Amino acid sequence: MTIHIGAEKGDIAETVLLPGDPHRAKWAAETFLDDVRLVNNVRGMLGFTGTWKGNTVTIQGSGMGMPSLSIYVNELIRDFGAKTLIRIGSCGGMQDSVNVRDVILAMTSTTLSTPSRGIMKELNFAPCADWGLLQAAANAAAAKGTPTHVGGIYSSDVFYDERPDLNEQMVRHGILGVEMEAAELYILAARHKCRALAVLTVSDHLLTGEALPSSERERSFRDMVEIALQAAFPDAA
Ligand code: HPA
């Protein structure tokens, strides 16, 4: 048991999928895993452990934003022995070539700050995804025929952004989409010698104002979870 995760050590798998929304953790666990059991309900931040094609997986809500994700990922790694952490979540598209429903695999993430800023000081650390996971996810997405983009994203501290000038620079420099968690996930994985990746579905678009209707969100989420599971277990039959 930790402050935020009410599980015993053996309840959490080495591979953890991290949706921001705890209800999405429940949906993904019930949809994709066998022998599912609830392993965390502290603050309603639901976590479930089950098996996918014989491999044990935990799906744990991370909450919204890097400070919340940082709490769960620190405890998952330090107290429960998590080794492979894959964020599954939504993002806003930031390029004309990116459409809603597409998947983005975040190679790296730009930020203004992260919860790790305090130890990085003047260093502009470049958070990056694990290459093996990224490659396996790209292969899984290609096999499914899901339109997928691989590149840099922006992990923002705010959803209601007040800096259009910064967004303009990021669009200009090829940033594919904006979300609020991946950079800190990648930094924590680097610090603790773990593997991390963010697999994101484009739910809305900053340039066009388009947004995925809720009726269609489930389908894109389904693709994203399958890609994440196949990336974690590329040899699963
Ligand atoms: N901004 C930040 N996070 C997001 C967005 C957005 O537009 N869409 C989905 N997650």
Contacts with 59 (C-beta within 8 Å, 6 or more apart), sequence order: 16, 17, 18, 19, 25, 28, 29, 33, 47, 48, 49, 50
Q: How far is the CA of 159 from the centre of ligand 1 (A)?
A: 6
What pLDDT, on a 0 to 100 scale, did the predictor assign at position 220? Answer: 83
Residues in contact with ligand 1 by the CB-under-6-Å rule are 90-92, 156, 159, 178-180, 203-204, 206
pLDDT at 72: 98
Residue 74 pLDDT > 90, yes or no?
yes
With the most atoms of ligand 1 within 8 angstroms of its CB, the residue from 156, 171, 202 to mutate is: 156
CA distances in angstroms from 78 to 70, 72, 94, 161, 229, listed in the order given: 12, 10, 34, 33, 23
| pTM of structure | 0.97
Dump pLDDT digits (tens) for 183-196: 999 999 999 999 99
Q: Which two tokens stand for residue 1?
A: 């048991």
Residue 76 neighbours by CB under 8 Å, 6+ apart = 5, 12, 16, 58, 60, 82, 85
Q: If you search the block for the tokens 């996971």, which residue do you land on?
A: 133
- Selection from 117, 102, 70 nearest residue 205 by Cα: 102
Question: pLDDT per residue over 197-227, tens digit each?
Answer: 999 999 999 999 999 987 788 878 999 999 9
pLDDT at position 13 over 90: yes
Other CB atoms within 10 Å distance of the CB of residue 232: 25
Percent of the chain with pLDDT over 70: 100
Tell me which residues are annotated as active site: 204
- Interval 127-138 mean pLDDT: 98
Which residue's CA is the nearest one to ligand 1's atom 10? Answer: 91
Domains in the chain, start-ordered, CATH in brackets?
A: 15-232 (3.40.50.1580)
191 C-alpha vs ligand 1 centroid, how far in Å?
26
Q: Whose CA is nearest to atom 1 of ligand 1?
A: 159
CA 62 to the chain's CA centroid: 9
| Cα 152 to ligand 1 centroid, rounded to whole Å | 15
